[in-house]
Amino acid sequence: MKSLIVIPTYNEKENIGNLILQIINLDEKINVLIVDDNSPDGTGEVVDKLKVKFQDRVFVIHRAGKLGFASAYIEGFQLALTMDTDYIISMDADFSHHPRYLPGLISKLKDYDVVVGSRYMFGTVSVVNWPIKRLILSRLANLYAKMVTGLKVNDCTSGFAGYRREVLEKIGIENILSDGYSFLIEMKYRAQRKGYKLCEVPIVFEERRLGQSKMSKKIIFEALFRVWQLKFLPR
């Protein structure tokens, strides 16, 4: 089974080259698609050099500018569905989602339709280098989203998730409502509502060491309001 890792980037020059190499060295059946929003730091140029070197393993979409988190994933997923791949995985570019978890996540896709790399399993919180206020806000946001939507996963806002090809073909990614990180909740919700099987695998989320985080309180609060809209979507 072939897997494609879809990674949106904006100013990730310090991370992206090393990340791509670690991913493609895991297994010859794991490839990478970068969706770069015209990063001014030269991220796209780093990816282009690796694309030339690994022509059948590394792919890139160059977008005109910073067009948004959700739209980057949607464009990446749409291209992925034109390619020869069985599993499609979303992943951050900053090593907060470490490549070492990919084999386990991909293995679970043999039995489940959607597999979530989860920070919140077995009653524990697996996050490194987060300030306590951000940790509390994230945990409460996830509990709230789960309560409102009925999602059967603990980490509703995880951006580390694998999908069988059929899921992305059937859930209507062209109709996604979310612009920001609520997109991560909406993807899981739409899959569950279609009757697909979801599960979680434990990961340790490691806050980025290089570059600047794109997360903010505003993004999390946006997700809190979006879940009510999702709950009342017509079937």
**Total H helices, total E strands in the chain:** 8, 9
The whole-number average pLDDT for the span 100-121 is 97
More confidently predicted of 119 and 210: 119
On average, the pLDDT of the chain sits at: 90
Q: What is the pLDDT of residue 217?
A: 59
Domain 3-231 has CATH 3.40.50.720: no
At 4-57, the pLDDT tens digits run 999 999 999 999 999 999 999 999 999 999 999 999 999 999 999 999 999 999
At 59-102, the pLDDT tens digits run 999 999 999 889 999 999 999 999 999 999 999 999 999 999 99
More confidently predicted of 215 and 21: 21
Which residues fall within 8 angstroms of residue 187, CB to CB, at 6 or more apart? 90, 161, 163, 171, 173, 176
Cα–Cα distance for residue pair 12/84, rounded to 1 Å: 27
The whole-number average pLDDT for the span 145-150 is 90
Does 122 score more than 80 pLDDT? no
User: 219 falls in which pLDDT band (50, 70, 90)?
Assistant: low
Cα–Cα distance for residue pair 216/134, rounded to 1 Å: 9
Q: Is the dihedral of CA 232, 197, 105, 117 positive or negative?
A: positive
Q: What is the pLDDT of residue 211?
A: 46
Q: What is the pLDDT of residue 218?
A: 61
At 162-177, the pLDDT tens digits run 999 999 999 999 999 8
10 Å Cβ neighbour count for 234? Answer: 3
